[in-house]
Structure formats: structure tokens, C-alpha cells
């Protein structure tokens, strides 16, 4: 059998963790998929999967082969697109990842516009609040908030966000506005564990730094929940500026102590560069970069 075909079958089974699901993805019969995996394992002389009646998982060797197979298949797809020409309309599948709330607020509208522009495309969106390895998880484009580690990925800076303190006008009218971070000890604190996992909040004003230990009255693992609690006038919370952009614009929340904010965090669009610039990736990166750079909430 053709080696690229065998790799494609292997990747489908590994990603779906099922021979049956892999066969459905490829439009092949389950016996044909089983024969392909057997032929690949025989060719390589290694076991690629651990199989039970309940699951199919890659072996250690299989996991290494999966990463290389994804890369090779991606480069072949990119080469095919490059031959067609840079003016060809994107077609195929694109996988995108971003933080949950950022994805819903800023990335999803761009994906919808992308699909409307290029009807031959399909997009899978993975919105999670963790750092995702694009190569290991078979993703094409990611949006990252914060400083980037050294990487082989292509990175494009598109904006920045700030870590801000905020409260509703009603709360501030009833309890007063803190004049410095130490005054937070006298206020009701709402902690969003995703943004502020520690009870020690750090602030910076010029060359002066201060760490304040807060005692949250309410701790939630959802940024949406922290925003809602703050909007009701319950207390002060600390979030990322983009997360409360609609509430700030509508006057439902106000930023406090802006002079004590830490340095802004950059936003990057990252993607696997490869030997060829894939038409589908380039088109999406251009679209999302333009939208994010022109959004006032990300400046």
C-alpha cells in the first residue's frame, strides 16, 4: 500500500482512538482500515496501538510516529496547495484554538466570516484555557495571550491585554473606591481562579512593586461568573481587560487603580510555518490579524 495512505489511516485511527470512527472519517470500511494498520505495523516492525475491547491508544512508538505523520501529511497538503497557486480559494479543513472567552468573543466571529468567504472550507475550533501544543494536537492556528516561549512556530503580534481591577458603579458608590492596592483588604473580593490563581495579587506603579494578600469572599473557576458577580455589585474582581470590554463600554463595570496595573500582555497569532505557506492558513491568519489589530478592546 502507498505509504502516505497508510500514514493517513494511522492518523485517523490515532486521533479518533477508534478503528470504527477512523473508518467513518476516511469513508473506508473497518476491515480495510484494520488491514492498513496491520500493513503499516508490519512495514515498520513496531506496534503502534494498544488495543482492548474498550479503547485504542497509541504506544510510545506510535505517539512519536503520530507527530511525524501529522507533520508529513501537513507538508504534503501544503505543497499541493502551493502548486495550485496563491490566488486559489482556500478549501479543506482548518483547526483553530484560543482561550475560551477570548475565542467566543473575538475568534468565533472571525471564523464565521472566514467560512462565509470560503464556503469550501470547514473549521474545527478548540476553545480551552490551557496552552495547547499545535503539533501534538493537529492544530493549524492558535491565539495566545502572554509572552511566548522560544518555538519553531510563526508568531504574529496582533494586540495586547491588561490585568485589571474592576467593580460596578453601584458597589463603588456604596463602599468607596480604593486609593491604593493595600485598601483592597477592606473590600469584598471576587476571585476568578483562572486569571488570579493565587491569593497574592501583584501590582506595579512605575518602579514601585507591591504584593497584596487578598481574602476572596467568592472564588469561581469561570471568568463569566466573576463578571456577573461584579456586575450585581457584590464586590471587586481582577480580570483581563478584553473579558470586560462590553461591560466597560456599557458602563456596567469600571476599572479601578489603573495606575497600578502590571505591564500589558501581548496577543499573538501562531501557526506552523512549514516549507510552504498553506493558502487556507494564510487566509485565516490575515483575516484574524486584521480584525484583532483593529479592535479597540485589544489595544
Predicted TM-score of the model (pTM): 0.71
- pLDDT for 136 equals 74
CA distance 40 to 296: 52
- pLDDT for 131 equals 84
- pLDDT for 197 equals 76
**DSSP string over the chain:** --HHHHHHHHHHHHHHT-HHHHHHHHT--HHHHHHHHHHHHHHHTS--EEE-SS-EEE-HHHHHHHHHHHHHHHHHHHHHHHHH-TTSPP-EEEEEEE-HHHIIIIIHHHHHHHHHH-TTEEEEEEE-SS---TTTTT-SEEEEESPPPS-SSEEEEEEEE-EEEEE-HHHHHHH---SSGGGGGGS-EEEETTT--SSEEEEEETTEEEEEE---SEEES-HHHHHHHHHTTS-EEEEEGGGGHHHHHHTS-EEE-GGGPPPPEEEEEEE---SS--HHHHHHHHHHHHHHHT-GGG-
Instruction: Please name the fold of domain 85-161+265-298.
Output: D-Maltodextrin-Binding Protein; domain 2 (3.40.190)
Cell of 106: 473575538
CA distance 91 to 103: 22
- pLDDT for 206 equals 84
- pLDDT for 278 equals 76
CA distance 9 to 12: 5
Q: Give the model confidence (pLDDT) of 208-257 as tens digits.
A: 889 999 999 999 998 999 999 999 999 999 999 999 999 999 999 999 99
* Residue owning grid cell 487603580: 257
- pLDDT for 153 equals 75
Sequence spans of domains, the chain: 3-73, 85-161+265-298, 163-260
CA distance 214 to 211: 10
Measured N-to-C along each axis, helices 279-293 and 108-117 cross at an angle, to the nearest 10 degrees, of 130
- pLDDT for 135 equals 75
Nearest Cα to 213, choosing from 202, 227, 224? 202
CA distance 89 to 17: 32
- pLDDT for 97 equals 96
Instruction: Please name the fold of domain 3-73.
Output: Arc Repressor Mutant, subunit A (1.10.10)
Neighbouring-strand partners of residue 166:
237, 255
Nearest Cα to 157, choosing from 264, 268, 265, 263? 268
**Mind listing the pLDDT tens digit of every residue in the chain (299 residues)?**
688 999 999 999 998 889 998 999 899 999 999 999 999 999 999 999 998 877 899 999 999 999 889 888 877 876 776 666 555 688 888 999 999 999 999 999 999 999 999 999 999 999 998 888 887 787 899 999 998 876 667 899 999 999 999 999 999 999 999 999 999 999 999 999 877 777 889 999 888 889 999 999 999 998 999 999 999 999 999 999 999 999 999 999 999 999 999 999 999 999 976 555 578 898 999 999 999 999 999 98
- The answer to whether 62 and 47 have CB atoms below 8 angstroms apart is yes
CA distance 33 to 58: 15
- pLDDT for 85 equals 58
Instruction: Please name the fold of domain 163-260.
Output: D-Maltodextrin-Binding Protein; domain 2 (3.40.190)
CA distance 281 to 228: 36
Exposed (0-12), middle (13-18) or buried (19+): which is 239, by Cβ within 10 Å? buried
Q: Give percent above pLDDT 90 in the chain.
A: 66
Cα separations (Å) of 205 from 74, 165, 180, 208, 260?
A: 47, 14, 10, 5, 5
Amino acid at each position: 500500500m502507498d505509504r502516505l495512505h497508510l500514514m493517513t489511516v494511522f492518523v485517523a485511527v490515532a486521533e479518533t482512538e477508534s478503528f470504527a470512527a477512523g473508518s467513518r472519517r476516511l469513508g473506508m470500511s473497518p476491515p480495510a482500515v484494520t488491514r492498513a494498520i496491520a500493513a503499516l505495523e508490519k512495514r515498520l516492525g513496531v506496534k503502534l496501538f494498544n488495543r482492548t475491547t474498550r479503547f485504542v491508544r497509541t504506544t510510545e512508538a506510535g505517539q512519536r510516529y503520530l507527530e511525524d505523520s501529522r507533520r508529513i501529511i501537513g507538508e504534503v497538503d501544503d505543497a499541493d496547495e502551493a502548486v495550485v497557486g496563491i490566488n486559489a480559494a482556500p478549501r479543506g479543513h482548518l483547526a483553530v484554538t484560543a482561550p475560551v472567552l477570548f475565542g467566543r468573543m473575538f475568534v468565533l466571529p472571525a471564523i464565521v466570516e472566514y467560512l462565509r468567504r470560503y464556503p469550501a472550507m470547514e473549521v474545527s475550533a478548540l476553545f480551552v484555557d490551557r496552552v495547547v501544543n499545535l503539533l501534538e494536537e493537529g492544530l493549524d492556528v492558535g491565539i495566545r495571550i502572554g509572552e511566548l516561549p522560544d518555538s519553531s512556530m510563526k508568531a504574529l503580534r496582533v494586540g495586547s491585554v491588561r490585568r485589571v481591577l474592576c467593580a460596578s458603579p453601584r458597589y463603588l458608590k456604596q463602599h468607596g473606591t480604593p486609593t491604593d492596592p493595600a485598601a483592597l483588604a477592606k473590600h469584598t473580593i471576587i476571585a476568578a481562579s483562572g486569571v488570579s490563581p493565587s491569593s497574592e495579587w501583584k501590582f506595579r506603579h512605575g518602579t514601585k512593586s507591591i504584593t497584596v494578600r487578598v481574602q476572596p469572599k467568592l472564588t469561581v473557576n469561570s471568568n463569566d461568573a466573576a463578571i456577573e458577580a461584579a456586575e450585581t455589585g457584590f464586590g471587586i474582581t481582577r480580570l483581563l481587560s478584553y473579558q470586560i470590554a462590553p461591560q466597560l463600554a456599557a458602563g456596567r463595570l469600571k476599572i479601578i487603580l489603573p495606575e497600578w496595573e502590571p505591564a500589558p500582555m501581548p496577543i499573538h497569532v501562531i501557526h506552523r510555518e512549514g516549507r510552504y505557506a498553506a493558502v487556507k492558513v494564510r487566509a485565516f491568519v490575515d483575516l484574524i490579524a486584521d480584525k484583532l489589530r483593529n479592535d479597540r478592546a485589544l489595544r
